[in-house]
Structure 1
């Protein structure tokens, strides 16, 4: 049986912004989907990130600073629980679905450093694997399709319902279901062993970034730099 018909675990974050080096986690979800698409297990977190949540971010995910401070778990406690949960999934060999993994997994890595916790890579002794990133795969298998590649756009393209967008649990479930649909539609993806699929995505993500960087340098910013590492951006010294 191919991987897309086996259990999948999806991981998603909602955050204070888009910079993996400085922004913080506000909510997180780890959700297990069975082959029939049913959610069989889930964990969700609301954090007090320890900083003011910008209004722009609150408008997207609906979590205000006051709500996070009143109801959120201290960030260091939640980060330890989230990291442990994700590491356990990967240690079991179950594929981890993460939309735009380069962002979510890198931000979690930086949060671990911020609080003096072992990162996923340190717990596993290697980089997180196997990871399945619907953003990277979609760009690889359908390179020239026009239009956006955000999760809501992928859901529309692959016929997957997305309810309560920008809720970490809802986005995680939708990402896993999109990946299943990708497996159904693209034989080259579904028949690939997970280790090979992971390595393919690392190469594809690097090529996609290099292509974007070249485009930006030609059109708008001659010094543009687009990160190529995937699924975790290496820490700067």
Structure 2
């Protein structure tokens, strides 16, 4: 099967489990010396701080014990404009002392501000298969056609798979801010997330997503894909029921 380039379908976001059309995805390890501080800061300061910014809908952190990178954090927002809003830029350019200190412990970090390209499924899961995909320098192909027409339908037909999402990184990933200067990070071109009710179901989906068709088109799924388990979920003020 030949992968095709092009814009995503107009109905790509219809009836999905996502809470908006913008998302920040962060993978990281933590130096052992900063592990306790990371949990204290992330649980009680950072996630609440981000979810207090207008437009942020939900924050989730997931972990794969013994894997590198160990954590995956997901911040969903109403749209990509939230990622360059004055309120968000203020936070990125005036990080708290705890933020500045904790980020020095980050290792093996990826950070991408993304837009959803194609998404199916209406439920979130406690287990998420996360695959970062890089593009070969000579290729302008996208994984959309193969994932939309072949891999995602196969995965969704499997018991326990609840949703599949394809994201493309946005230029907002590369904004120079005070916070971004505190640590080195890379930006993957594409990200696939498969949400499932069990670890086994999420792991099974890997065989359809990480397929030869992607490599044949000049796309490179990273070998460190993993199934992460949910540690914390918090809704933004505008997403909470009254």
- Fold shared by both chains (TM-score > 0.5): no
Higher relative contact order (CA 8 A, sep 6+): 2
Pick the structure with more strand per residue. 2
Q: TM-score, normalised by structure 1?
A: 0.25
Pick the structure with more helix per residue. 1
